[in-house]
Structure 1
Amino acid sequence: MEISGIITAIVVGIVIGVLGRLVVPGRQRIGVLLTVLVGIVAALIGTALAAGLGVANTKGIDWIELIIQIGLAAVGVAALDRVKGRG
């Protein structure tokens, strides 16, 4: 992976993580770094899932892929918040 790919993954991870965090109601007790990591993982898994479903690489913005990524990020943020809340 080239440096531009890593930078792109981080930027997309930040955006997806923040959007996923906004979807989850209430206050989350996880930090910015965990939010970004959840966003990066959700973006990668969401892209693979969208490609598997055949909804990636459409003309224009891939809305279904974006919704999948945000949904995965929301699930990840909520799961980490619940784990961190117990500790």
Structure 2
Amino acid sequence: MQWLWAIIVGFVLGLIARAILPGKQHQPLWLTTLFGIAGALLGNAVSRWIGVEDTRGIDWIRHLLQLVGAVVIVGLGDMAYIALRGDKRRTV
């Protein structure tokens, strides 16, 4: 059941990250979800590293770090996707 939550959280974080980033992102939705999952994992690792992984109540700092991680990874992933895919619409 944890994999289902990872997909749902990754999807939501990926969409929020795409909304935060300026301009149009070119990666498909499934790749945005994977980038969101990776951002959530990165945010969890950082929160564990600084000691705020589990707090009483809602873990706002951990969630904020997950969102920051998703924004970074979605942004970098979009640049990598464009570089690897190339611009197929441009004709020479």
> Please, what TM-score do these two structures have when normalized by structure 1?
0.86
For residues 13 and 24 of structure 1, the distance between their equivalents in structure 2, rounded to whole angstroms, comes to 16
For residues 60 and 51 of structure 1, the distance between their equivalents in structure 2, rounded to whole angstroms, comes to 16
1:65 CA drift (Å): 1.0
Would the aligned equivalents of 2:39 and 2:72 in 1 still touch at CA under 8 Å? no
Pair 1:37 & 2:30 matched: no
What secondary structure is seen at the aligned counterpart in 1 of 2:30?
helix
1:1-49, CA deviations, whole angstroms, 9 ceiling, x for partnerless residues?
xxx1111111111111111111111110111011000011111121121
Would the aligned equivalents of 2:35 and 2:77 in 1 still touch at CA under 8 Å? no
Higher relative CO (Cα under 8 Å, sequence separation at least 6) belongs to 1
Runs of 4+, deviation exceeding 4 Å: none
What secondary structure is seen at the aligned counterpart in 1 of 2:56?
coil
> Please, what TM-score do these two structures have when normalized by structure 2?
0.82
Aligned amino acid, residue 58 of structure 1 = T
What secondary structure is seen at the aligned counterpart in 2 of 1:29?
coil
Consecutive unaligned residues of structure 1, counting only runs of 5 or more, are: none
Same amino acid, percent of matched pairs:
39
Would the aligned equivalents of 1:43 and 1:69 in 2 still touch at CA under 8 Å? yes
Per the alignment, residue 67 of structure 1 pairs with 64
For residues 40 and 81 of structure 1, the distance between their equivalents in structure 2, rounded to whole angstroms, comes to 15
Please identify the structure whose Cα radius of gyration is greater: 2
Higher helix proportion: 1
For residues 49 and 80 of structure 1, the distance between their equivalents in structure 2, rounded to whole angstroms, comes to 19
RMSD: 1.3
